[in-house]
Amino acid sequence: MANKQGPVCVSVINMKGGVGKTTVAASLALYATGARPFYSRNPRKVLAIDLDPQANLSQALMGGTAYRRLLEDKSPSIVEVFKEYQPPTSDKPSPTPLNIRDAVRSVRSGLDIIPSRFDFSDNLIDSIKPDPRVLARLIANNFQDKDLILIDCAPTESIFTQAAYHASRYILVPVKPEYFATIGFPLLNDSLTKFRDENQGHLIDVIGVVINNTTYQSSNDGGPESKRAKVEIHEEADKNGWHVFGHEIYYSRGFPKMMRGDFNNLRNAHLFTLFASEFFGRLFDGG
């Protein structure tokens, strides 16, 4: 049954690479559907969309075996979504309409993904310029039954960034407390300002900035550089009117293990629930 208001669409973006966008997106998707090790009490129906040519979100949620099978079978992915058709194959000697359900992979109960491929950007940028409204139409026409749609974006300004904007109500900005932490903030703010100016009927806001990969131990706060970076993050976020989440995401070796399906000795990965609870409270309840 479709939701009364439809899904909430959130893009995870930072114009600076290496800030952990995929880990944040994947963990939020798992938390929202009540997956181990989080066991949310209020599981939701989630669609994840991988807009990064590196396809890290696809591999993290699908697992290596399933993702390799997708590549070997040349199954539809985000590439075909933007093309809006399936190219000829050995079985079908002409282009055929894309059945969007063929591009959707089930990860677990309540969680689906439209995966990316390594040839994503080359396949599209070197051909006809894609329509940036493709994702918005796709969601409007096919996924109103979802509660949440999470879009993992590449750390560069491109036609795919515009596609994410057109599809999204909110932007979540992960950032690491390190030197040049906020270098991507002005780029993102300028990009969003330009988008709003050109699409004045579209409401899009930064739901917040989350400090990721921070040190957990109280005896080790990351040192003076981490402290300076956190001050700069708050200052730059304030300039743009962006909320900074009170709960940080602590560094843990458990995150990559969790993505591989290994839930033994996850260290402090479970503390992600502190941020996730705050995020979903703000997203759905206005908290």
- Which tens digits make up the pLDDT trace of 88-130? 888 889 999 999 999 999 999 999 999 998 776 565 555 557 7
Lowest mean pLDDT of 195-199, 239-243, 260-264, name the range. Answer: 260-264
User: 1 pLDDT band (50/70/90 cuts)?
Assistant: very low
SS (HEC) of the chain: CCCCCCCEEEEECCCCCCCCHHHHHHHHHHHHCCCCCCCCCCCCCEEEEEECCCCHHHHHHHCHHHHHHHHHHCCCCHHHHHHCCECCCCCCCCCECCCHHHHCEEEECCEEEECCCCCHHHHHHCCCCCCCCHHHHHHHHHCCCCCEEEEEECCCCCHHHHHHHHHCCEEEEEECCCCCCCCCHHHHHHHHHHHHHHCCCCCCEEEEEEEEEECCCCCCCCHHHHHHHHHHHHHHHHHHCCCECCCCEECCCHHHHHHCCCCCCCCCHHHHHHHHHHHHHHHHHCC
Output the average pLDDT for the chain: 87
Top-ranked range on mean pLDDT: pick from 134-148, 201-215, 266-280: 134-148
* pLDDT higher than 80, residue 214: no
Q: What is the pLDDT of residues 33-65, one digit of tens each?
A: 988 777 777 899 999 999 998 899 999 999 889
**Structural domains in the chain, sorted by start:** 8-285 (3.40.50.300)
User: What is the structure's pLDDT at 219?
Assistant: 43
- For 192-203, the pLDDT digits (tens) are 999 999 999 999
What is the rounded average pLDDT of the residues 270-275?
84
What pLDDT does 47 receive? 98
